[in-house]
């Protein structure tokens, strides 16, 4: 077996082992491993940075959504308020008009009633005179007595008062 027979090559093999291993160690420690480590670290940073950014964008989007929902709610509330206000206004206007109309109506009613009352009292006055004349004529024809005007008036008033 050459491994145990070529003893004279042992020193050379160990020498070259140390040399080549040393060179490889130097290349790995100074070039390859720092580079690999930096690549991996950079990637990790990049990935975590991207994740952070995504998280931030998500939050921003949520904020925008909240703002939007708030705006919608505000708009709805102001629309309801405006609606209520105009409804109130309309109600107030119509109530005012109603009141004005009512007042006008009652005024007209009053005037009409006054007219009716006037006409009525006038009619009553006529009735009274007629009644007085009738009563005077009747008493003078039937009883052949003249009743005083004052008495007649009183009697007619009483009779009319009973009717009323």
| Residue pair 139/145 in contact by the 8 Å Cβ criterion | yes
Q: Which of 41, 46, 51, 53 binds another protein (CB under 8 A)?
A: 46
When asked if residue 81 is in the footprint of another protein (CB under 8 A), the reply is no
Task: Pick the closer one to another protein by CB: 3 or 164.
Answer: 3
When asked if residue 39 is in the footprint of another protein (CB under 8 A), the reply is yes
Task: Pick the closer one to another protein by CB: 29 or 72.
Answer: 29
Contact code string over 2-31 relative to another protein, x by CB under 8 A: xxx-x-xxxxxxxxxxx-xx-xxx-xxx-x
Angle at 154 between CA 151 and CA 156, to 5 degrees: 110
Task: Pick the closer one to another protein by CB: 14 or 103.
Answer: 14
Cα(62)–Cα(53) distance, integer angstroms: 14
- Residue appearing with tokens 């009738």: 134
Q: Which residues, 6 or more positions from 128, have their beta carbon under 8 angstroms from its beta carbon? A: 153, 156, 157, 160
Instruction: Centre a 10 Å sphere on the Cβ of residue 21 and count the other Cβ atoms it contains.
Output: 10
# of chain residues touching another protein (CB under 8 A): 36
Which parts of this chain interact with another protein (CB under 8 A)?
1-4, 6, 8-18, 20-21, 23-25, 27-29, 31-33, 35-40, 42-43, 46
């Amino acid at each position: 077996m050459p491994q145990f027979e070529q003893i004279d090559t042992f020193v050379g093999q160990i020498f070259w082992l140390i040399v080549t291993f040393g060179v490889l160690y130097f290349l790995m420690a100074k070039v390859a491993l720092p580079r690999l480590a930096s690549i991996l670290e950079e990637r990790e940073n990049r990935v975590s940075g991207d994740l952070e950014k995504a998280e931030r964008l998500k939050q921003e989007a949520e904020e925008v959504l909240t703002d939007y929902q708030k705006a919608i709610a505000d708009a709805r509330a102001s629309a309801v308020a405006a609606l209520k206000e105009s409804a109130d206004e309309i109600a107030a206007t119509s109530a005012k008009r109603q009141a004005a109309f009512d007042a006008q109506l009652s005024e007209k009613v009053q005037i009409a009633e006054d007219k009716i009352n006037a006409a009525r009292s006038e009619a009553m006055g006529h009735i009274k005179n007629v009644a007085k004349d009738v009563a005077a004529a009747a008493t003078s024809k039937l009883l052949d007595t003249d009743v005083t005007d004052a008495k007649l008036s009183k009697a007619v008033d009483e009779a009319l008062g009973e009717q009323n």
